[in-house]
């Protein structure tokens, strides 16, 4: 299944989240039927990351956005967790610090974007400034409405510097969110994640949905596409996102760089060192 096309938001498309089923699972019946495919994608992604790191010509920025309990942490753990941490970073954007608030809204974002050869995952991102800021009326409409254009320009600038950008909205239903809140209440290992805002934000669900729909519609571009991922089923979420990341990276046709040394000379040095080592070994045996 080509999830790039199935879940991608076409530039200029008007998004209606009400028409997208968060329970979708494609042809898979359950997580067991998808396990082998997901594992294969994970191995392939590790190989591609190694090439990305070695080639050192481009980078990958992955943005994760969702309603509360939408599965951002789980996606990071299961999809990008197996990648080599030497070339992977995760950054979570929370309420701006005093220093961050003194700058423009993209200042703190730009500081965390990936260098060449890196993969960086944003857990929440610059889109909070057209989501929370809009719904909670933290800034006037004329300010947040102007930010869509600034975001598009910012992402275009990153692309021109060698970055590739994939943005995922993890689409869950209100019922699934409430069920996940219940799981947190009953699981001592996850109770630390409970926040009062989990419940105070729920009455604003429809307003957040409208904010997401406009953000998805106005900022999905060819260089930085959005994908709406059905995320009620965590295992399908992981499969779909793994597939999109892998297929995107494969399309770059990355190659390993050519050696910067004379391999024939290195081989001669290696064989000479090996002969000396064997000679010393025989000398020790005579003793």
CA–CA separation, 75 and 244 (whole Å) = 13
Please tell me the predicted confidence (pLDDT) of residue 221: 97
Cβ atoms of 92 and 64 closer than 8 Å: no
| φ and ψ of 96, to 5 deg | -55, 140
pTM: 0.92
Q: Where does the pLDDT of residue 196 fall: very low under 50, low under 70, confident under 90, or very high at 90 and above?
A: confident
Q: Does 16 share its domain with 72?
A: yes
Judgement on whether residues 119 and 216 belong to the same structural domain of the protein: yes
In this structure, the answer to whether residues 163 and 93 fall within a common structural domain is yes
* Helix (DSSP H) and strand (DSSP E) numbers for the chain: 12, 5
Contacts of 78 (CB under 8 A, 6+ apart): 234, 238
Tell me: do 218 and 247 sit in the same domain: yes
* The pLDDT of residue 282: 63
Whether residues 168 and 270 fall in one domain? no
Q: Do 166 and 286 fall into the same domain?
A: no
Given a cut of 60, whether residue 48 has pLDDT beyond it is: yes
Tokens of 240: 């779909």
Element holding 150 (H helix, E strand): helix 141-160
CATH of the domain at 142: 3.40.50.300
Same domain? For 59 and 99 the reply is yes
**Same domain, residue pair 279 and 220:** no
Q: Is 277 or 145 the better-scoring residue by pLDDT?
A: 145
For residues 239 and 37, what is the distance between their CA atoms, to the nearest angstrom? Answer: 8
Whole-number pLDDT of residue 283: 58
Q: What single string gives the DSSP state of each residue in 220-270?
A: --SSS-EEEEE-SSHHHHHHHHHHHHHHHHHTT---PPPPSS-HHHHHHHH
Q: Are residues 249 and 279 in the same domain?
A: no
Give residue 269's domain range. 262-287
The count of residues in the chain is 287
pLDDT per residue over 72-86, tens digit each? 999 999 999 999 999
Indicate if 206 and 267 belong to the same structural domain.
no
Structural domain tally of the chain? 2
pLDDT band for position 285 (50/70/90)? low
Q: What are phi and psi of 6, to 5 degrees?
A: -65, -40
Same domain, yes or no: 36 and 165: yes
State the pLDDT confidence band at 26, using cuts at 50, 70 and 90.
confident
**Are 140 and 196 contacting, i.e. CB atoms less than 8 angstroms apart?**
no
CA distances from residue 266 to 54, 86, 257, 278 in whole angstroms, order as listed: 20, 27, 17, 18
Residues 142 and 277 in one domain: no
């Amino acid at each position: 299944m080509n999830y790039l096309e199935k879940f991608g938001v076409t530039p200029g498309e008007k998004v209606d989240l009400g028409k997208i089923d968060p329970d979708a699972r494609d042809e898979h019946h359950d997580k067991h039927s998808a396990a082998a495919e997901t594992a294969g994608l994970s191995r392939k992604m590790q190989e591609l990351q190694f090439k990305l790191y070695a080639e050192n010509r481009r980078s990958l920025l992955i943005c994760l956005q969702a309603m509360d309990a939408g599965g951002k942490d789980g996606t990071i753990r299961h999809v990008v967790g197996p990648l080599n941490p030497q070339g992977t970073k995760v950054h979570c954007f929370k309420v701006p610090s005093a220093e961050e608030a003194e700058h423009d809204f993209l200042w703190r974002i730009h500081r965390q974007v990936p260098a060449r050869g890196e993969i960086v995952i944003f857990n929440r991102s610059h889109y909070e400034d057209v989501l929370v800021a809009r719904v909670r009326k933290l800034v006037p409409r004329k300010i947040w409405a102007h930010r869509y254009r600034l975001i598009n320009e910012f992402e275009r600038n990153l692309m021109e510097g060698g970055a590739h950008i994939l943005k995922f909205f993890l689409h869950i239903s209100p019922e699934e969110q409430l069920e996940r809140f219940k799981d947190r209440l009953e699981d001592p290992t996850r109770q630390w994640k409970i926040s009062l805002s989990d419940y105070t934000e729920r009455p604003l669900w429809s307003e957040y949905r409208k904010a997401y729909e406009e953000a998805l519609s106005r900022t999905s571009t060819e260089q930085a596409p959005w994908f709406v991922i059905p995320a009620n089923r965590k295992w399908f979420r992981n499969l779909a996102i793994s597939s999109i990341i892998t297929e995107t990276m494969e399309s770059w046709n990355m190659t390993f760089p050519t050696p910067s040394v004379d391999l024939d000379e290195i081989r001669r040095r290696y064989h000479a060192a090996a002969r000396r080592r064997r000679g010393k070994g025989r000398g020790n045996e005579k003793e």
